[in-house]
């Protein structure tokens, strides 16, 4: 490691330590949080789907947890990178959080690594078992559990194939998000099963998106966007590209079809927040987090945008429409 890299790393640690010390002086946990629970929330990038989930979480808490119990919620919105996630978790631990709540796979994995002795509740995690966040979804053990947002990619791809006989698919993914990696792996498996070519582009940050899309131009006939904070932040560019190049866009991001995708399969963010609040209530009532099974989404919507289909020259067959939970006309 170079002298500059060492100095930079030392500076980051020193800044974090100083920031935590200042916060502890201003908000000493023993004085401020005596008699109430301190809930630290990690919401990467302040993304729309996380905001919706958290709004539902807070509303459910307001309705379901007696005011006399006392609770303080502290929200952090780190950038989508490992250093920011780790710093946010360490700050939460340093401030004496009773429970840490995380939205998304990467923040949840960072919390598991950095907050070994603090209970963790997660939401909007694509596949907690495959990500090695928990070993057993029925009895997670340890000090963490939460809500999965996994929806079946097979259903999404099969429905798309009812509309269009796909031969090639471009996939945007982010290697920094393990949930995104799981999705691109499954798309590759489905490509092998159904006989379509898969071209991948790794997105490290939103600034990488224009170059990746330019490399796709003329080489693909459909586009899939995986779920990751970096891709969420560049969603407008992806939708604009699909529209300008007449490429059908698919994905599992909530609200994607409303933004201009042809088809999406979405776990409801509000339900994620409501289920999360229910687990927090149970923990505050004395339940052990490790004994709470990982919940799976019940409100899953297959959404087809007929306006986009018409603009692409597709006639959506009845079989595909009958599978849809919602049709945008």
pLDDT digits (tens, 9 = 90+) for 246-273: 999 999 999 999 999 999 999 999 999 9
What is the structure's pLDDT at 70? 79
What is the structure's pLDDT at 125? 96
Residue 308 pLDDT level (bands cut at 50, 70, 90): very high
Backbone angles phi, psi at 124, to 5 degrees: 55, 45
Burial (CB < 10 A; 0-12, 13-18, 19+), residue 238, is buried
Residue 116 pLDDT level (bands cut at 50, 70, 90): confident
Whether the predicted pLDDT of 67 surpasses 70: no
In the block, residue with structure tokens 């597709």: 314
Whether the predicted pLDDT of 167 surpasses 70: yes
Q: Tokens at residue 229, please?
A: 């904070």
In this prediction, residues 117-128 reach a mean pLDDT of 95
* 111 contacts: CB under 8 Å, gap ≥ 6: 42, 89, 100, 102, 118, 120, 122, 144
Instruction: Quote the percentage of the chain above a pLDDT of 90.
Output: 80
In the block, residue with structure tokens 């799976």: 296
- In tens, the pLDDT along 3-61 reads 334 434 444 444 444 444 444 444 443 333 345 899 999 999 889 999 999 999 999 98
- In tens, the pLDDT along 214-229 reads 999 899 999 999 999 8
Give the Å distances, CA to CA, from 309 to 172, 306, 329: 21, 5, 10
* Residue 140 zone, left/alpha/beta (φ > 0; ψ -120 to 50; rest): alpha
What is the structure's pLDDT at 69? 63
What is the structure's pLDDT at 63? 81
CA atoms within 13 A on the CB side of 129: 11
């Amino acid at each position: 490691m170079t002298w500059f890299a060492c100095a930079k790393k030392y500076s980051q640690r020193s800044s974090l330590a100083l920031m935590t010390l200042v916060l502890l002086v201003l908000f000493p946990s023993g004085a401020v949080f005596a008699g109430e629970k301190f809930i630290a929330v990690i919401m990467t990038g302040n993304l729309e789907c996380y905001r919706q989930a958290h709004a539902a979480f807070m509303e459910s808490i307001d309705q379901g947890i007696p005011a006399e119990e006392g609770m303080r919620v502290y929200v952090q919105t780190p950038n989508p990178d490992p250093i920011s996630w780790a710093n946010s978790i360490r700050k939460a631990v340093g401030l004496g959080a009773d429970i840490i709540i995380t939205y998304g796979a990467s923040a949840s994995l960072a919390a598991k690594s950095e907050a070994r002795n603090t209970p963790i509740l997660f939401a909007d995690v694509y596949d907690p078992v495959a990500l090695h966040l928990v070993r057993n979804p029925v009895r997670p053990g340890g000090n963490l559990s939460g809500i999965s947002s996994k929806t079946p990619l097979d259903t999404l791809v099969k429905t798309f194939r009812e509309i269009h006989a796909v031969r090639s698919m471009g996939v945007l993914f982010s290697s920094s998000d393990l949930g995104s990696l799981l999705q691109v792996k499954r798309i590759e498996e489905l490509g092998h099963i159904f006989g379509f070519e898969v071209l991948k582009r790794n997105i490290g940050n939103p600034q990488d998106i224009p170059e990746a899309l330019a490399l796709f131009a003329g080489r693909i006939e459909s586009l899939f966007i995986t779920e990751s904070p970096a891709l969420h932040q560049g969603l407008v560019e992806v939708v604009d590209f699909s529209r300008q190049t007449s490429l059908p866009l698919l994905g599992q991001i909530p609200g994607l079809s409303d933004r201009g995708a042809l088809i999406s399969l979405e776990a409801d963010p509000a339900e994620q927040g409501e289920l999360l609040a229910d687990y927090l209530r149970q923990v505050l009532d004395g339940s052990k987090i490790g004994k709470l099974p990982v919940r799976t989404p019940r409100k899953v919507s297959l959404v087809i945008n007929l306006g986009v289909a018409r603009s692409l020259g597709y006639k959506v067959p009845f079989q595909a429409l009958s599978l849809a939970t919602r049709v945008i006309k």
